[in-house]
Amino acid sequence: MQPVINVEQTADCPRRHRPVHGAHIGIIVLDTGFERLPGDVANALTWRFPVQYHVVTGVRPQDVIEGAPEKVLPAFYDAIDRLTELGVDGVATSCGFLAAVHPQLRAHSTVPVASSSLMQIPLVLQTLPADKTVGVIVSDRKAITDRHFINIGAPVGLPLGELAVDGPIRANMRNNVPRVSHAAQERDALETVERMLAETPSIGALVSECANLPPYSQAIEKTFGVPVYDVVSLIEWLHAGLRPRGFHPKTS
């Protein structure tokens, strides 16, 4: 005889204190002032499901990218604690360079943590034909190191494409521009990918390190015909596991 399962009792197991309901993903956002367009990790219109944001006040992109991310770990630990106390089931961050401290974030958290879009590299590699590789779009080539890849289980030595230092995306981020041009930033992203593919024709898929690039992922795929993965695809994957879709048999 099959046991009778009370769905109402098991639907939200394990039971946790939840002062906020309905947002199962918490996103830690850096302290920025530039416009975050739809598609950007820090624009709430990006998401097909509710998310709970937490800003690490005083922690800027350069503190993570150019500085020593270990110095700002307390702020991220506090953010993880606050988000989980609110009731989220998984936490993501908004900067790919946090892969450098992924082991520490994972060790601290009591819920799954998606620290960096780079975490998708091993899976994407396994989907490609044997003669193809993954290209990684980065916002700052000189700042990315082997540990950013090793700490999330990705191979080192992958082809990198860097956004132009004085291009609109990096300039707008650096100067906290309150109004940005989608068209100009899209051209910036497309030109970066064009250079990458010309240098390494064996690239069969792209992973964007920069969390500000998802607004242009569709244009990249349509222009160059290669799969594109970014922080949005990572967080959607995380959410899909935390809240799987329900399927019900048809009744006559």
Does residue 174 contact residue 166 with C-beta atoms inside 8 Å? no
Here the tokens at position 101 are 């401290």
Q: In 3D, which of 77, 26, 74 has the Cα closest to residue 54?
A: 26
Q: Which residues contact 214 (CB under 8 A, 6 or more apart)?
A: 39, 40, 41, 46, 208, 230, 231, 232, 233
Burial class (CB in 10 A: 0-12, 13-18, 19+), 247: exposed
Q: What is the CATH number of domain 117-230?
A: 3.40.50.1860
Q: What is the pLDDT of residue 252?
A: 62
Angstrom distance (rounded) from CA 145 to CA 127 = 24
What pLDDT digit, counting tens, does each position of 21-79 carry? 889 999 999 999 999 999 999 999 999 999 999 999 999 999 999 878 899 999 999 99
Domains 9-116+236-242 and 117-230 share a fold: yes
Q: What is the pTM of this model?
A: 0.91
pLDDT tens digits for 117-174?
999 999 999 999 999 999 999 999 999 999 999 999 999 999 999 999 999 999 999 9
Average pLDDT, the chain: 93
Amino acid letter, residue 202: S
By residue count, the chain amounts to 252
Q: How far apart are CA 63 and CA 140, in angstroms?
A: 13
What ranges do the domains of the chain cover? 9-116+236-242, 117-230
pLDDT band, very low/low/confident/very high, at 250 (cuts 50, 70, 90): confident
CATH (one of 3.20.20.80, 3.40.50.720, 3.40.50.1860, 3.40.50.10470) for 9-116+236-242: 3.40.50.1860
